[in-house]
Amino acid sequence: MRQIRFLRSIVLLILSIGFVRISTAQEKKQLTVEWMYSREAREVTELPTVRWLQNGKAILYDSRKPESERTLELLDPGTLRRTSYLNAAKALESLKSLLGEATPSVITFPEDIDPSGRRAFYLFQKDILLLDISSATFTRLTNTPDEETSVNFSPDGNKLAFVRKNDLYVYDLERKREVRLTTDGSATILNGTLSWVYWEEIFGRRDIGYWWSEDSKALAFLRTDESEVNIETYVDFKPWSPRVITQRYPKVGQKNPAVKVGVVEIESQKTTWVNLHHHPHEYIIRVKWLPDNKRLSVQTMNRLQTQIDLFFVDRATGEPTPILRETHNTWLNISDDFYVLKDGKHFIWSSERDGYEHLYRYTMDGKLVNQMTKGNWPIRASSGGVFWLRQAVCSIDEKNGWIYFTALEKSSVEKHLYRVRFDGTGMTRLSKEDGTHGPSFSPDSRYYFDRFSTISSLPELRLHKNDGTQLQVVGASRPELVADFDLQFSSIFTIKARDGFELPAQILKPKDFDPTKKYPVIFYVYGGPSAPQVSNAWQSPYYDNILARNGYLVMRVDPRNSTAMSKRLEDLIFKRTMGEIELNDLVDAVRWAKSQPYVDSTRIGVWGWSGGGSYTMLAMSRSKEFKAGIAVAGVSDFRYYDTKWAEALMQTEETNKEGYEHVSLLRYAKDLHGRLLLVHGTYDDNVHIENAWAFADELIRANKMFEMMIYPMRMHGISDVPARIHLYNTMVEFWKRNL
């Protein structure tokens, strides 16, 4: 009997061990903040890098392959053949002969490839190294203690322009010689490179300070004098004696950098200055060569940003001819959608004059021919870059009479590809799948790559014909890389505001969501003009999933000015940004959430970064809807912010002093309701830390308890991996304590 019981016990033990093993095998991996910032996480959304060549073929580099297999490949869209384009092993050996032990383990995609695909350049150890692709050999072009920046090939691929110590240079690849084009570069005189406010606000974090003529014989460039611009200071705590760092940063009402345009001829090094003395302006916002190479276009903007003037400038004399003037009673957004057609008779211009951004066709003397796109929807940049960059046109096919562009016509939370005839007829949506499409066209407009994703599907790279027909998946999505995490995805819907306006929103629920239970809710906000956060696109939902796993519902909502639906909605916050319009929409969304039977109305949180940090401070001080909030790198008073952005939304303090006073969050700090965590980096050169110090000081004056996390010598993005891991773990811990 005892023997039978013993055997039965052994069998049960074996069965239980087997069950444990099966259960363990079926358990999902634990999603952590540490994983979010791992190499493994970055690999999830990696896609091949692609670059179209003049001949209509494309160069690819697939970093997802094993290192030993990575190389430049050539894709022929006509035959769909992919072939090796570079002997990577030989190129690596050549590179090692120049760099020695500093040589990387693998050849990566270059900084740029010349239009014909013959050469590419890399930046190593602050110098320029040229790769001859066919021979797989590297040549060092520069060898100086000073860094070369803003490097670009000429259109014919035979020269490289670059900036060194704020002067403009050209390296002639055929003659193997370096030519210095400007000589007055200094700490405050910048040639061919941008001051901070131009880099950030006008050119969207791209150092675009010069432009090649199509004949590769001249450069148009910006010369900037920053000597009268306000100086900001930062103090580094390393090494033992603190180091002081300075930055030229113009604040509201202060002097901007003085900028002018020059045209320098490569052979003679002669510079002709564009003569705008009789055309008052504050900013030079765009420069572009005309196809005839005899003229260039220059766009200027006034201080209040209510007027843009387009000039055509003679290359030889620098004399401008006024062509077009765009005006608006609030502010004008800068657009890159200006194109002179090769027929020499017309140009295309984008405008928000009817309340929506659309395309218009003009004759070369500035006479309107026709509106090309129209409707209660805007054209909109497809993907990549910052939200204030406007470039919706993807390709212009003059031979067949089509212009290709992306727009919000189907939905405000999706971006789709369209084409239309020059006369405005025949508009067709080419992208069929719901989601967000990011097209990149071949020079001849026959093919395009589409980077596609949805809120629940990873990015994928596909090759299409210009009629939308899919030819090949060039880089398939890899959902298996996150399958073990059992990710949950947000659902997109709308919330009715008090006046009936449909606010875009999304909500993420835990996998084990039980509608009979009560859940706390965390809102993520941004709130800036035409900067939507609700989108049917992949959003890397890892942090939201961590919160959901901890029992929170996670929501996003866009106030109406943020939806990018129209210029009219943007204009609602003119002269009263961070005010009642945005707050009321956020409050209406929160009250919708509180009305749901599964929401604990006493436990609502809000957080955001940059503009979202501002709106978190706004929500916590001017409403009583939230129990806790986290404000990361937010502006607390627009008088601390830069001229270009702040004055667009608020004008100058001289013209809108009452508005600045009314929306300043500093005056409302005393009304803080709930627990607030302020987060800022001490080297934030965008939203300076004085914004956090000032708000904290007002909280102290009012005896309001709050928390603060300061990141030493971190900039606006607090972007290094240790700081990011620390910050997101800090936020998780904060929510656990306060919600």
The string of pLDDT tens digits covering residues 434-491 is 999 999 999 999 999 999 999 999 999 999 999 999 999 999 999 999 999 999 999 9
């709930």: which residue's tokens? Answer: 674
User: Residue 165's pLDDT is what?
Assistant: 98
| 17-65 pLDDT tens trace | 444 444 444 467 899 999 999 999 999 999 999 999 999 999 999 999 9
**Is cis: bond before 378, omega within 30 of 0?**
no
> From CA 468, how far away is CA 436, in angstroms rounded?
14
For residue 8, pLDDT over 60 is answered with: no
The Cα 312–Cα 330 span in angstroms is 26
Per-residue pLDDT, averaged over 219-245, amounts to 95
H-helix or E-strand spanning residue 543: helix 542-549
* Spatial distance between the Cα atoms of 93 and 227, rounded to a whole number of angstroms: 46
Residue 103: partners with Cβ closer than 8 Å, 6 or more residues away: 92, 95, 96
Give residue 27's pLDDT. Answer: 61
- Side by side, the strands of the sheet bearing 72-76 are 49-52, 58-61, 72-76, 81-84
- The stretch 191-209 carries a mean pLDDT of 97
Nearest to 206 by CA among 451, 406, 386, 405: 386
Report how far residue 21's alpha carbon sits from residue 643's, in angstroms, rounded to the nearest whole number.
63
Q: Does 1 have pLDDT greater than 50?
A: no
Q: Which letter does DSSP use for residue 63 in this model?
A: T
**Of the given ranges (325-334, 342-351, 383-392, 418-427), which has the lowest mean pLDDT?**
383-392
| Contact indicator for 301, 332 with CB cutoff of 8 Å | yes
Q: What's the average model confidence in pLDDT over 59-80?
A: 97
Average pLDDT over residues 673-691: 98
Structure tokens at 198: 């131009």
Residue 28 has a pLDDT of 72
Q: What tokens appear for 545 in the block?
A: 């999933």
Our measurement of the distance from residue 545's CA atom to the centroid of its chain's CA atoms, rounded to an integer in Å, reads 24
Beta strands in 158-216 (DSSP E): 159-164, 167-172, 177-180, 189-191, 210-212
Query: Alpha-carbon distance 584 to 559, whole Å?
Result: 8
pLDDT digits (tens, 9 = 90+) for 493-518: 999 999 999 999 999 999 999 999 99
DSSP helix/strand/coil, 231: strand
* CA distance linking residue 555 with residue 509, whole number of Å: 9
329: pLDDT strictly greater than 90: yes
pLDDT of residue 29: 86
Q: Provide the pairing of β-strand 457-465 with 112-113.
A: unpaired
At 3, is the pLDDT very low, low, confident or very high (cuts 50, 70, 90)?
Answer: very low
Tokens describing residue 519 = 């859940």
Spatial separation of the C-alpha atoms in residues 718 and 634, rounded to whole Å: 13
Q: What is the dihedral of CA 519, 521, 522, 523, to 10 degrees?
A: 160
Q: Could you give the CA distance from residue 633 to residue 683 in angstroms, rounded to a whole number?
A: 11
CA distance 127 to 143: 6
Model confidence at 85: pLDDT above 80 = yes
**Distance between CA atoms of residues 497 and 572, nearest Å:** 15
* Residues listed for the chain: 739
To the nearest whole percent, how much of the chain has pLDDT over 90?
94
Residues 6+ apart with CB under 8 A from 619: 525, 583, 586, 587, 606, 625, 626, 629
**pLDDT on residue 22:** 40
CB atoms within 10 A of CB 412: 22
306: number of CA atoms within 13 Å, CB side? Answer: 9
The Cα 130–Cα 113 span in angstroms is 10
> Helices (H) and strands (E) in the chain — how many of each?
13, 43
Write down the pLDDT at residue 160.
98
Q: How many Å apart are CA 507 and CA 537, to the nearest integer?
A: 14
Q: Which helix (H) or strand (E) holds 76?
A: strand 72-76
Task: State how far Cα 697 lies from the chain centre.
Answer: 32
- The pTM score is 0.94
Q: What is the mean pLDDT of residues 539-567?
A: 98
Contact indicator for 453, 460 with CB cutoff of 8 Å: yes
Q: Is residue 670 pLDDT above 90, yes or no?
A: yes
345-354: average pLDDT: 98
CA-to-CA dists, residue 67 to 15, 103, 104, 431, 692, angstroms: 44, 14, 11, 34, 45
Report the relative pairing of strands 675-681 and 119-124 from DSSP bridges: unpaired
Is residue 2 very low, low, confident or very high in pLDDT (cuts 50, 70, 90)?
A: very low
Burial of 698 (0-12, 13-18, 19+ CB in 10 A): buried
- Written as six digits, the tokens of 674 are 């709930």
Contacts of 542 (CB under 8 A, 6+ apart): 31, 35, 36, 41, 485, 487
CA-CA distance, 573 to 392, in Å (whole number)? 24
State the DSSP H helix or E strand holding residue 99, giving kind and residue range, or none if neither: helix 88-99
Q: Pairing mode, if any, of strands 553-557 and 519-524?
A: parallel
412, 496, 555, 602, 706 from 520: Cα distances, Å: 28, 21, 11, 8, 21
pLDDT value at residue 13: 41
CA distance 440 to 451: 8
Q: Tell me the pLDDT of the chain averaged across its residues.
A: 95
User: Is residue 276 within 8 Å of residue 301, measured between CB atoms?
Assistant: no
